[in-house]
Structures are given as structure tokens and as C-alpha cells.
């Protein structure tokens, strides 16, 4: 099985961290390859940067078309998830949707810990898009840039654990999701400090991508995720243009 891990940010640090966790949790026989967006924000943090990343995501996928059996979008906002599912014939899994859906199978009330108060509305809108806003019982937005680089993570680990405990005690959360690609692997070192399951998206997404490949469901030939028809596209790459009208 060939699994492409795509980072729609342009940070190679994030790609490297995600790839390490993906390889640790992938099944035997799953071949992990990675790709990083060629243009856009180092770390997506605004709506405008997210819009740029959507184009970069589709362009990168088009350039890698035919080289994978499934895709994991390793970014907080599941950038261009529905568009990628429309464009490709292979399964596409977003790490945040994957983590939230997994959380629904482990508890009735999910708590989310994420970074950056400014982007909290983006996460909340995503939950509404997925129809999961009623399953998410609480949110905690932390302001700390430590996860985005090497170095001592002691302080941010303490903040994450404190936020998670607050969600459990105040909001009655029964499972906690650490949002963001840079949280890959973090539950392995923090789980023992918490009384409920602690999840991050990369591990959940890899497992779900493998499952979808094994299920071998056909791509829809009708509806909103049917392949896009041929269109007149100006000033986009030849690779991206070739994805239109293939059906």
C-alpha cells in the first residue's frame, strides 16, 4: 500500500515530524512517502493563507497523481479535503476529521486542545461542516509556538495536560483531541497523565486511510464528489489542469 502524506504548510519541520509518526503507526507493508506544499505560508494561520494552501494542496496532489493508493492531508484545517476527494479517485483523509471521528467512537463528549486563539473559529466552522459541533463539548486555545520547532517541550506539555484536565473537569469531556500536525506522537508521552483517551490526527488518519484502501470502495460517479468535468482553466499547472475531464 502506498500512502502519501501531504503537508499543505511549507514547513519541512512539520513534514518531518508527521512522517516520523506516520511510519511508526503504519501497518507492515504500508509505504509512506511525503510531500510539502511548494508555495504558501510556512504555518497556516489566517483565512487568506488557508485559501492559498487550498490551491497548493490540489497542485501538489496533481503532480503526484498515480503514485499513491491513499492520501493523508497533514494539516489542522484538512485543507482542500472535499476538493481533493472530488478530484482524485483514491481515498483522501484529513487528520482533524479523522481524529474527531475516532473520538466519537471512544466517548460521547469530545474536548479539543489547539494552538492560536485567532484560528479557533476555523476549527469550529470545520466541526459544523462535518456535523460534529454537538459532539465537541469544549475547546481550549493555547498560545505557544514551541511545538513548531525543536527544543524543550516541557512547558507546552504542561499546558496541554492542564487544558485537557480542565476540559475533563469543567466540560465533562470523555476524550481529548490534540489538534494540529505538530501534535503527531504527543499522546504517547502524555497519555499516562490523563484519565481519558488522548488522540492526535496523524495516527488516526493513517489507520483510516489504510482501512479505506482495504475496503476498495468505488469513487462516486454522481453527486458532489464525482470527478470534475473538463473546464477552461487559465494559468494553472499542466498537472492540475490534467485532473479535469478524466472521467
pLDDT number for residue 231: 86
Model pLDDT for residues 3-16, shown as the tens digit of each residue: 999 999 999 999 99
Examine the domain organization and report whether 134 and 81 are in the same domain: no
User: Is 120 domain-assigned?
Assistant: yes
Q: Where in the sequence is the domain holding 80, given as residue range(s)?
A: 2-96+204-241
The Cα–Cα gap between 91 and 32 comes to 15
pLDDT digits (tens, 9 = 90+) for 155-178: 999 999 999 999 999 999 999 999
**Any idea what DSSP says for residue 147?**
G
Cα separation, 78 vs 96, in Å, equals 6
Average pLDDT, the chain: 96
Both 139 and 55 in one domain: the answer is no
Tens digits of per-residue pLDDT, 31-54? 999 999 999 999 999 999 999 999
- For the residues 61-70, what does the mean pLDDT come to? 96
**Same-domain check for residues 31 and 112:** no
Select from 114, 122, 159 the least CA-distant residue to 140: 114
Q: What is the pLDDT of residues 141-151, one digit of tens each?
A: 999 887 888 77
Work out the number of other CB atoms within 10 angstroms of the CB of residue 38.
11
Residue 70: enclosing H or E segment and its boundaries?
strand 70-73
161 and 119 in a single domain? The answer is yes
Asked whether the predicted pLDDT for residue 223 surpasses 70, the reply is yes
Cα–Cα distance for residue pair 236/222, rounded to 1 Å: 26
Global confidence as pTM: 0.95
Regarding whether 63 and 133 lie in a shared domain, the answer is: no
Do residues 193 and 102 both lie within one domain? yes
Residue 247 lies in a domain: no
Do 104 and 90 have their domain in common? no
CATH number of residue 129's parent domain: 3.40.50.12500
pLDDT at residue 245 in the model: 86
C-alpha cell at 135: 459532539
In a domain, 174, yes or no: yes
Looking at the structure of the chain, the number of domains it has is 2
pLDDT tens track for 94-123: 999 999 999 999 999 999 999 999 999 999
The predicted pLDDT at position 152 comes to 83
Q: Tell me what pLDDT residue 68 has.
A: 97
User: Treating both helix axes as pointing N-terminal to C-terminal, what angle do 12-25 and 201-215 enclose, rounded to 10 degrees?
Assistant: 60
Whether residue 131 is found in the same domain as residue 77:
no
Distance CA 85, CA 15 (A): 21
What pLDDT is recorded for position 148?
Answer: 80
55 plus 121 within the same structural domain: no
For residue 89, pLDDT over 90 is answered with yes
* Residue 92: half-sphere exposure toward Cβ, Cα within 13 Å: 22
Output the pLDDT for position 246: 72
Tell me the percentage of the chain whose pLDDT exceeds 90.
93
pLDDT exceeds cutoff 70 at 80: yes
Residue 6 lies in a domain: yes
> Is the model's pLDDT at 247 over the cut of 90?
no
Residues 89 and 136 in one domain: no
246: in domain:
no
Amino acid at each position: 500500500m502506498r500512502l502519501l502524506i501531504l503537508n499543505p504548510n511549507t514547513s519541512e519541520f512539520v513534514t518531518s515530524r508527521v512522517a516520523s509518526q506516520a511510519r511508526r503507526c503504519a501497518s507492515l507493508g504500508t509505504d509512506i512517502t511525503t510531500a510539502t506544499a511548494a508555495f504558501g505560508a510556512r504555518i497556516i494561520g489566517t483565512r487568506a493563507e488557508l485559501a492559498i494552501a487550498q490551491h497548493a494542496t490540489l497542485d501538489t496532489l496533481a503532480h503526484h497523481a498515480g503514485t499513491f493508493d491513499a492520501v493523508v492531508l497533514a494539516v489542522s484545517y484538512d485543507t482542500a479535503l472535499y476538493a481533493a476527494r472530488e478530484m482524485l479517485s483514491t481515498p483522501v483523509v484529513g487528520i482533524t476529521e479523522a481524529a474527531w471521528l475516532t473520538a466519537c467512537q471512544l466517548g460521547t463528549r469530545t474536548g479539543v486542545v489547539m494552538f492560536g486563539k485567532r484560528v479557533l473559529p476555523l476549527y469550529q466552522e470545520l466541526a459544523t461542516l462535518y456535523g460534529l459541533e454537538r459532539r465537541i463539548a469544549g475547546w481550549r486555545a493555547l498560545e505557544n509556538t514551541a511545538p513548531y520547532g525543536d527544543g524543550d517541550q516541557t512547558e507546552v506539555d504542561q499546558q496541554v495536560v492542564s487544558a485537557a484536565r480542565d476540559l475533563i473537569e469543567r466540560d465533562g469531556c470523555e476524550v481529548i483531541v490534540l489538534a494540529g500536525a505538530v501534535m503527531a506522537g504527543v499522546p504517547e508521552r502524555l497519555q499516562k497523565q490523563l484519565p481519558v483517551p488522548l488522540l492526535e490526527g496523524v495516527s488516526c488518519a493513517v489507520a483510516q486511510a489504510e482501512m479505506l484502501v482495504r475496503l476498495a470502495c468505488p469513487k462516486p460517479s454522481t453527486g458532489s464528489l464525482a470527478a470534475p468535468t473538463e473546464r477552461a482553466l487559465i494559468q494553472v499547472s499542466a498537472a492540475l489542469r490534467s485532473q479535469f475531464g478524466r472521467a
